Amino acid sequence: MESVLQPLRAYEHWLAQYKRVWRGTIGTSLVNPILYVTALGVGLGTIVDQTQNAPGGVPYLDFVAPGLVAAAAMQTATIESTWPVMSAIKWSRVYHAMIATPLSERDAFVGHQLFVITRVFTSAAAYLAVIAVFGAVASWWGILVVPVAVLIGTAFSMPMAALAAAVEEDRTFVTVFRFLIVPMFLFSGTFFPVSQLPLALELVAYATPIWHGVELCRMLTLGTVEALPALGHVAYLLAWSAVGFELARRSYRRRLLG
Amino acid sequence: MIHARGLVKRFGDLVAVDGIDLDVKRGEAFGFLGPNGAGKSSTMRMIGCVSPVSDGTLRILDRDPAVDGARIRARLGVVPQQDTLDFELTVRENVLIYGRYFGLSRRELKPRIDELLDFVQLTERAGDKVEPLSGGMKRRLTIARSLVNDPDLLLLDEPTTGLDPQARHVVWDRLFRLKQQGKTFVVTTHYMDEAEQLCDRLVVMDHGRIVAEGSPWELIQRYSTREVVEVRFDDERPGAGVLGDVAERVEELPDRALLYTSDGDATAAQLHDRNLPPHSTLIRRSTLEDVFLHLTGRTLVD
C-alpha cells in the first residue's frame, strides 16, 4: 500500500507548484494547437489538396492533425523531464527534501513522472478537442489518441529523465532538442510519409518512437485501425517506456544516494 | 539513538569517513566539529539514511539503515546544509507539502503548521513566497519543516553557516529551546561558539577520523589551558626559547604569539618582570577554537 501512496505524495508537490501556473499553461495548450492546425492543416493543407496527390488519400488537414498531436506529446514530455529533473537535483534540490523523509528516490522519480503524465494527458486532450473542432477527427477511435499520447509521453519522458539525472550541465538538453527532438518532429511522418525519405533515413525513422506514435494517432483519428500494426506500435512505445523507466531508476539512485 | 562501529564511507578511492565509532543517547545534543572535508557531512548523510554505509556497523533508533531506511527517516528531522525549500511555494505550503511526504493528513497538519510557524517566528510570513525571505528566515523555515513529523532525532548540518550574527543568534535560540524540550540532536559545525553553545558532547573530526571526543569543557581542559595570553611585539620579538618557560605551551604566529597558561595575569606579569613588555596583550579564556586549531592544525583546508 505504501509503495502506491508514497509516489502520490511526491506527486502532490508538483501539483502544488503547478497550481500557481496552470492558467498560463491552459492558454498555451489551446493557442499552440490552433496556430499549428491553422497554418499547416488549413493554410498549407489547401495548397497540398489542390495537387490532388495528398498523402494517404485524405485531406491534408486530416493527415497532419494527428501527427501534430503526437509530436506535441513528445515535446511536452521531453521538456517536463529535462530541466525540471535537473532542477530538482541541483537547483531547487526538491528531490533531496523528499528523500530525507520516508519517500525513496524511486518515489521521487515516479511521483515526478506522474506529473509529467498529467501534463501530457491534459495538453493532448486539449489538442484533440482543437483538431476535432477543425473537423480532423473522423472516428470515435479518435478518443484513444489521449492515452496513446500518454504512451508517447512516457516513451520520451522516461529515457529523458534517465539522461537528465545523469548529466551535469543543462547544455546537454539543448543538444538533445537540436539533434534529436527537432529532426524527429520534422522527419518522422508528421508532415509527410516517411516513404518519401531516402531509404537509410526511412529506416531510421521507423526506429524512432515518434513514428510509431504518429502512425497510431493517425489510424485512430482516421478510423483506419488495424489490430496487428496498432499492437506493434503500442508494444514498441511500451518497450521504450519500460527500458527508460529502469534506466531512470538506476540513474536517480546513483545520483541521489551518494 | 545512534550506534556506529568502524563506520566507513568511500567514494571510489577517496575515503571520506575512515572507521569512526559513535554513540548518541536520547536527549543528548551531540556535535561534529571539523574543518571542511573532514567527513562530517558524509557521516550525517549516512545517519540520515540517504547514503549507503561502505563498511562497519550503523544503527539508528535501533534499526539498520540498509534495511529500514524509510522507517528510520520517518522518525528523523533533517536540516540540510543547502536549503531544499521550494521557492515557488509559500512558507505554509512548504511545511504542508513536506508534512504530506510523511503521510500526515491535511487536517492534522493545519494546527501543527500554525504551531511550528509560531515557534520559528514566521507566522506573519505564512502566506508569502519563500524566494524573497532572508537567509535566516529560510533557515528557520527549514527548521520548522524538519519538526513537522515531531522527530525523535534531529540532524542539523551546519545550521547557521552563511547567516549574519543576528540571524545566527535567533536560530541558536530556537535550537536551544528544542534542547530544553529534551530533543535529541546532532549538529555539524565549524563554528566553535556554536558547538560550545549547543552541544553537550562533541567529537572533533579530521581527515575522516575522530581525533578527540568529550564535552566542550573537557576538550578545553584536555587540549588547551584555562587561559590564553595573546601578545604582539613591536620590532624584535623574543624567540620561543625566551618565552618558553613563562607558559605551558607557546605557539608562534606571524603576527603574534599565543601563550597557553593556567593564569593569564601571572604570565603577563612575568613578561614585564623579564623586561619583555609586549606592544599589546590580550588575556582571554581558552575556547574550543584553541582546541580545534591545536588538533587539526592551522593549515588552510580547501
ipTM of predicted complex: 0.90
Phi, psi for residue B192 in degrees, rounded to 5: -70, -40
Say whether pLDDT at A158 is over 50: yes
Nearest C-alpha neighbor of B20 from the set B219, B208, B195, B188: B208
| Together in a domain, B203 and B264 | no
Per residue in A217-237, pLDDT (tens digit) is 999 999 999 999 999 999 999
Are B244 and B100 found together in one domain?
no
Contact B50 A100 (CB under 8 A): yes
Buried b or exposed e, range A202-219, using 16+ CB within 10 angstroms: bebbeebbbbbbbbbbbb
Asked whether residue B206 falls in the same domain as residue B147, the answer is: yes
Q: Give the pLDDT of residue B235.
A: 64
Contact residues, chain B, for A93 at CB < 8 Å: 80, 82-84
Report whether pLDDT(B240) > 60.
no
Mean pLDDT of A143-165: 98
State whether B276 and B137 are in the same domain. no
Stretch B24-35: mean pLDDT: 91
How confident is the model over B88-120, as pLDDT tens digits? 899 999 999 999 999 999 999 999 999 999 999
Q: Are residues B21 and B145 in the same domain?
A: yes
For chain B, percent of residues with pLDDT exceeding 90:
50
pLDDT tens sequence across B203-227: 989 889 998 899 888 888 888 788 8
Q: In total, how many domains does chain B have?
A: 2
pLDDT of residue B21: 94
Whether B86 and A98 lie within 8 Å, measured CB to CB = no
Q: Does B120 share its domain with B162?
A: yes
Q: What single letter denotes the amino acid at residue B112?
A: R
Asked if the C-beta of A16 comes within 8 angstroms of chain B's C-beta atoms, the answer is: yes
- Domain assignment of residue B179, yes or no: yes
Range of the domain at B155: 2-214
Tell me the average pLDDT across B218-245: 74
Q: What is the pLDDT of residues A173-182, one digit of tens each?
A: 999 999 999 9
Kind plus residue range of the DSSP H or E element containing B78: strand B76-79
Q: Which position has the grid cell 524509510?
A: B70
The answer as to whether B291 is a domain residue is no
Are B121 and B269 in the same domain? no
Q: Which of A91-100, A159-168, B236-245 has the lowest mean pLDDT?
A: B236-245
The CATH number covering residue B247 comes to 3.30.70
Q: Which residue of B has its CA nearest to A16?
A: B89
Residues B119 and B30 reside in one and the same domain: yes
| Mean pLDDT, rounded, of chain B | 87
Return the pLDDT at B302: 47
Q: Kindly state whether residues B196 and B271 are assigned to the same domain.
A: no
What integer best gives the mean pLDDT of chain A? 94
Q: Indicate whether B157 belongs to any domain.
A: yes
Which pLDDT belongs to residue B239?
Answer: 61
Each domain of chain A, given as residue ranges in start order, spans 2-256
| C-alpha grid cell, residue A199 | 531509404
More confident position, B247 or B134: B134
What would the DSSP string read from start to end of A70-118? HHHHHHHHHHHTTHHHHIIIIIS-HHHHHHTTT--HHHHHHHHHHHHHH
Model pLDDT for residues A2-54, shown as the tens digit of each residue: 778 999 999 999 999 999 888 888 888 899 999 999 999 999 999 999 887 77
The reply to whether B11 falls in a domain is yes
Residues B14 and B156 in one domain: yes
Which one-letter amino acid corresponds to residue A99? I
Same domain? B139 vs B23: yes
Q: Does A12 touch chain B (CB under 8 A)?
A: yes
Shortest distance, CA B239 to any CA of chain A (angstroms): 50
Q: Is residue B120 located within the same domain as residue B181? A: yes
Distance from A156 to chain B by nearest Cα, in Å?
26
Is position B294 within any domain? no
Q: Residue B193: enclosing H or E segment and its boundaries?
A: helix B192-198
Of B171, B191, B214, which residue is a domain's last?
B214
Specify if B219 maps to a domain. no
pTM given for the model: 0.90
Q: What is the pLDDT of residues A174-218, one digit of tens each?
A: 999 999 999 999 999 999 999 999 999 999 999 999 999 999 999
Among A101, A103, A106, the residue to mutate for chain B (most B Cβ within 10 A): A101
Residue-level pLDDT at A124? 96
